[in-house]
Chains A and B, each alone.
Chain A
Amino acid sequence: MISVHNLHKNFGKLKVLDDVNVTLEAGQVVALIGPNGSGKTTFIRSILGMVKPEQGSILYNGEEILKAWKYRENIGYMPQLAKFPERIQVKELLDMMKDIRNNNKVDNIDEELIELFDLKKIYQKRTGTLSGGTKQKVSAALTFLFNPNVLILDEPTTGLDPVSAEILKNKITKEQSKQKLVLITSHILSDIEEVASHVMYLHEGKLQFVKSIEQLKMETQEVSLNKAIVKIMQQEIK
């Protein structure tokens, strides 16, 4: 569904992405992990066209996306920190996004998260007055609102309370069963173990491996993902 070839990105002299090659298929929930500063967010933002890579290509269903924009109607993106225009109400924000997407077809709108997070209660509040966690909820609802084929979630559970995090994880699993591609970054390995089918490991801008969770556990002979990952990270250091 998304294939990335020879992706390079530098910020000044720093190589943030160094020859990344990967293919992601529909129906996968891919967990993108790696230490801080390993290029996870830059990788995600390259797919979204926010960061312009120096070299390489990214294909969505076989089509080059680096200079395109239309493909983004198939992507839902939840950033690490939700940022909205401050003086706008939650309801207005949702309506505005629908208007901008030119999407008032009721059948293709997915308001499940709005219901589950009980967001109608805060419809009249201005986004500037919301707490960090509530902003994350609005951001999550917005990400799933247009029923996109690809979901890109950058540390989605940080800032969410346990109940809301659970709701979000269930939603992710539900979308996976609809043959969607979910790309998720997180440092909370237990969350990843619950939802992910594959792990993609970045280290200093280099892609180390993409493997399914079962394969990973088998190779390291560990029962929990946590221990398997730690084992791999320690091997890296040696």
Chain B
Amino acid sequence: MSRIIKYVMFDILRNRFVIGYCLFIMLITFGLLGLEEGSSKSTLSLLNIVLLVVPLISVVFATIHFYNSYEFMELLLSQPVRRSTIIYSEYFGVSGSLSFAFAVGMGVPLIFLNQGLVSVYLLLSGIVLTFVFVSIALLGAVNSKDKARGIGTSLLLWFFFTAIYDGLVLLIMFSFSDYPIEKYLLAFISLNPIDLARVAILLQMDTAVLMGYTGAVFSEFFNSWEGLIFASGLLLLWAILPMLLTVRIFKRKDL
């Protein structure tokens, strides 16, 4: 498998998008940290980049790359190579190079300007979110032969997790505000990878108070190591489960 991952990464490096992505993240990070050095305000801005930009780029790039590699996959299919190897190589090749670009782009400025535990959390959650959204994107792409529909599905999923889902959570909070629903809310938020990453980082920043009553419930739960392990475990599941489903579909598909 490593041999094929090598060729996937080789191909990605050639089209220079990933290098541009890395420089873009680096520029923004330097800029934000330079504007408000060391304050938690700049960390919050960085958090928004991790939660919005990273999933968007991962989703769009992974989907487009999947469709553009169709020729390569077809070529491999007639060779003595397992189908699962082909799709896993695509997954690890794309998410590996994207998360590497992200880690360098955000990591270098953070080392110089903002060392600390929160920075480590930021980097880790960016990397995990890359894997999560590449895995979600591939699930969308493998299900449709039509490129436009595939990209549309991926964008919709990104939009769902970043905006629509939060709207639903708010709606539920307002509708049932008379009842003790904090625990259910916790479960609800656990189903969204972006919320999981957000909550996990915010609670490390002692800004949980800003999150009101529910924030208190979360800090009670998440501030402990158990909470952190719980959130990381769920995020990893988000990276693994869609991918397992993708492999299952890819193996049975007519190509």
Binding site for B on A (CB under 8 A): 11, 45, 48-52, 69-73, 75, 77, 79, 83-88, 96-97, 99-102
Contact = CB atoms under 8 A, between A and B. Distances in A.
Contacts of B3: 99-100, 102
B80 A72 contact: yes
A94 to B, nearest CB: 12
Contacts of A75: 78
Contact of B78 (A72, A86, A99): A72
Nearest to B254: A51
Most buried by B among A11, A51, A69, A72: A69
B77 interface: yes
A13 to B, nearest CB: 15
B75 interface: yes
Contacts of A69: 80-83
Interface string B82-103: 1100000000000000000000
Q: Which DSSP category, helix, strand, loop or mixed, fits chain B's interface?
A: helix
B78 A77 contact: yes
Contact of B81 (A51, A52, A88, A100): A100
Interface SS, A side: loop
A41 B150 CA distance: 26
B40 interface: no
Contacts of A49: 77, 83
B75 A84 contact: yes
Given A83-B71, A85-B75, A97-B79, 9 more contacts: A49-B83, A69-B83, A77-B78, A79-B74, A79-B78, A83-B75, A85-B71, A87-B11, A101-B79
B117 interface: no
Contacts of A88: 11
Contacts of B253: 52
Interface string B150-191: 000000000000000000000000000000000000000000
B11 A50 contact: no
A176 B7 CA distance: 34
A87 B15 contact: yes
Contacts of A102: 3
B71, B80, B255: residue with the most chain A Cβ atoms closer than 10 Å: B80
B78 A48 contact: yes
Contact of B254 (A50, A83, A84, A85): A50
B77 A50 contact: yes
12 contacts: A48-B77, A52-B254, A75-B78, A77-B78, A83-B75, A84-B75, A85-B71, A87-B11, A87-B14, A100-B4, A100-B7, A100-B81
Contacts of A99: 3
A81 B122 CA distance: 47
A129 to B, nearest CB: 15
Contacts of A97: 75, 79
Interface string B239-255: 00000000000001111
Contacts of A100: 3-4, 7, 76, 79, 81
A48 B70 CA distance: 17
The 5 tightest CB contacts between A and B, nearest first, are A73-B80, A83-B71, A77-B78, A72-B80, A85-B72
B223 interface: no
Contacts of B207: none
A212 B72 CA distance: 37
B153 to A, nearest CB: 21
A99 B15 CA distance: 22
Contact of B7 (A52, A71, A79, A96): A96
A48 B254 CA distance: 11
B45 interface: no
B47 to A, nearest CB: 36
